[in-house]
Amino acid sequence: MGERVVVTGGAGFIGSHLADALVSRGDEVHVVDNLATGRREQVPEDATFHELDVSDVDALGELADRIGPVARWYHLAAQADVRVSVEDPAFDAKVNVIGTISVLAAARRHGALVAFASTGGAIYGEVVEPADESTPMHPPSPYGAAKLAGEVFLAQDSRLNGGAHTVMRYANVYGPRQDPHGEAGVVAIFAGRVLDGRPARIFGDGEQTRDYVYVGDVVAATIAAADAAASGADADLRSGGATVPVYNVGTGRMTSVLELWDAMERAYGSTNGREFEPRREGEILNSVLDASFARERLGVTFDTPLEDGLLATIEWLGGTVRA
């Protein structure tokens, strides 16, 4: 039998895929989103949509009362554009810190757990080898700092109020419905260029690397982490309520911008070439996550081949595969 669940940010890229998956498994899904970047048409038909700003503590609390007992809040609503966070850190903190505090308060009304979409790359910062969950954290942007603060508030709420919350630190998530402004925005930009028959525009030498993880794999891991929290299978990770489980979600593979473009051209069967521009100030060179812990504990994989995922993304953008 399904559960009543809330997905904040469920009109967005990852949240809408998650809402689809939860509807498919029989849950009663409520989507909360203010459509800042999300799209109403991405919310599954069988979900109930509530247009609301998650940082409005009172309004979210009233909504929680109206919906009635909820088992889980999947909290994905966020200001997820790193550049916006640099330009306006206070706005970023309003959405990403106050918004998370507000979700925790709403969830507490019915003793629900919160599964929080945090970030890997924007929390660990520059790395030379795959970062695991114990790697020191050096958020290079206000966005990363705000996500880290959100994690700390989850742990604190868990200690004070006993919520069985859980945290996923996503790598660079890509796939259908993504837009160019997220952490793996380059995939959407490249997909558009492949479709238009234009060369890639590469900033710097193209050797900078990221960990591109397919959205379907991310959704499966997110649900598995929430299942472990709900069943108590992760109880040993909570050390007396002082901490919450944290799982990296990524492939562990470093893919350079040049490799990404090559994979995309192979997937689509095009040869548009590439153009180079000066390196962008402040850009992280390497970001990659070791997600062995999630694989072992949650029994999930992050194995969707890059070319398959890229092809699905290009096709979603409107392409037809060339022979």
76 contacts ligand NAD (rule: CB under 6 A): yes
User: Which one, 59 or 258, has the nearer CB to ligand NAD?
Assistant: 59
CB atoms within 10 A of CB 293: 16
Among 12, 44, 175, 250, the residue binding ligand NAD under the rule CB under 6 A is 12
For the question of residue 143 being annotated catalytic, the response is yes
139 contacts ligand NAD (rule: CB under 6 A): no
Site string for ligand NAD, 179-208 (x = CB under 6 A): ---xxx------------------------
List the one residue out of 323, 202, 317, 196 whose CA is nearest residue 259.
202
Among 20, 27, 33, 234, the residue binding ligand NAD under the rule CB under 6 A is 33
9 contacts ligand NAD (rule: CB under 6 A): yes
Among 6, 14, 82, 289, the residue binding ligand NAD under the rule CB under 6 A is 14
Nearest distance, CB of residue 233 and ligand NAD, angstroms: 23
Report the relative pairing of strands 72-75 and 4-8 from DSSP bridges.
parallel
222 contacts ligand NAD (rule: CB under 6 A): no
Among 3, 4, 36, 59, the residue binding ligand NAD under the rule CB under 6 A is 36
15 contacts ligand NAD (rule: CB under 6 A): yes
173 contacts ligand NAD (rule: CB under 6 A): yes
144 contacts ligand NAD (rule: CB under 6 A): no
Marked catalytic residue, from 143, 174, 214, 247: 143
User: Which 81-100 residues touch ligand NAD, going by CB under 6 A?
Assistant: 95, 99
151 contacts ligand NAD (rule: CB under 6 A): no
User: Which one, 71 or 93, has the nearer CB to ligand NAD?
Assistant: 93
Catalytic annotation, residues: 143
Residues making contact with ligand NAD (CB under 6 A): 9, 11-15, 33-38, 53-55, 76-80, 95, 99, 117, 119, 170, 172-173, 182-184
